[in-house]
Structure 1
Amino acid sequence: MNSNARRLLVVIAAAAAALIVWAVAAPLAGVDLTVPQGDADLHVGPGLVAAAALIAGFAGWGLLAVLERAAARGARIWTVVAVAFLALSLLGPLGAAGAAAVVSLLCMHLAVGAVVITGMARR
């Protein structure tokens, strides 16, 4: 399998991982996944979960492709940047409504990050 096909599967797997966490948290466990957004509350549903995971995965893939062409150690640089972005992304769920929502959203972020980082950096 060529690297583009493998990386596309990684992006799809990352979205699937996030949706599995969402399915366990929201419909099965009944966690209210709501995050305050200014004056309104944002309900985190499956569409938003899939879209966010796909955007993160494709952005990571794009950055990796650029770094592989521009730097001798592009994959290593990408891994450091990806881990830093994952760490920063973990700050977002901290404002969720309730501890269960915070934990669920953190798990989604970690699932996507783990799949993308391990899958993309692999040669």
Structure 2
Amino acid sequence: MTATTTLPQAARSTTTSPRRLRAIAVGAAVVTTGTLYVAARAMGTDFMLTDPGKAQAHQLILPEIVAFTLVFSLLGWAALALLERYVRRARGIWTALAGGVLLLSLVPIAIEQATGDTKVMLVLIHAAVAAVLMPVFRLGRR
């Protein structure tokens, strides 16, 4: 009697499709930003923001962090997919575009009135999204 083992489809496949890897990266970015937010809140970061010239403060909450991460991750993926379809050096162009978006996303953090720890955590959250998505999104088609 011989024992036969069956491996799950993922283990049998020697490569994972770029689409699947990118979907996993989007999920990982959402989990990462959510985890950073929860950890920072547990350590006392208030995530209170006040727009310049306004008196009313707004507290960022976990669903906002998760939703923004999901929306912008999917927009990044869509931009890359369009570039890959129509442009020769899509990943290089997308990387420059993503880097520019990351830098521009830091401008509101500098402008907002918030505590230092809130600003530091927001920068870390933005950087974490880029750190998760950029290397994975660059994988794939040559």
Same structural fold, with TM-score higher than 0.5 when normalized by the shorter chain: yes
Deviations 1:4-49 (A, max 9, x none): 11111111111111111101111x2111101124553221111001
State whether residues 18 and 139 of structure 2, in contact with CA within 8 Å, keep that contact through their aligned partners in structure 1.
no
Deviations 1:69-109 (A, max 9, x none): 11110111000000000011011222141101100111111
Among residues 20, 36, 46, which one is paired with 1:32 in the alignment? Answer: 46
Among residues 68, 76, 92, which one is paired with 1:52 in the alignment? Answer: 68
For 2:134 and 2:113, how far apart are their aligned partners in 1?
Answer: 25
2:76 counterpart of 1:80: no
2:57 aligns to what SS in structure 1?
strand
For 2:35 and 2:113, how far apart are their aligned partners in 1?
Answer: 19
For 1:78 and 1:7, how far apart are their aligned partners in 2?
Answer: 14
Among residues 109, 114, 117, which one is paired with 2:131 in the alignment? Answer: 114
1:4 aligns to what SS in structure 2?
helix
1:92 aligns to what SS in structure 2?
helix
Q: Which has the higher helix share?
A: 1
Runs of 4+ in structure 1 over 4 Å off:
none
State whether residues 25 and 136 of structure 2, in contact with CA within 8 Å, keep that contact through their aligned partners in structure 1.
yes
1:84 aligns to what SS in structure 2?
helix
Report the aligned-residue RMSD. Answer: 1.3
Q: TM-score, normalised by structure 1?
A: 0.92
> Unaligned 5+ residue runs, structure 2?
1-15
Q: TM-score, normalised by structure 2?
A: 0.81
> Unaligned 5+ residue runs, structure 1?
none
Task: State how many pairs are aligned.
Answer: 122
2:40 counterpart of 1:21: no
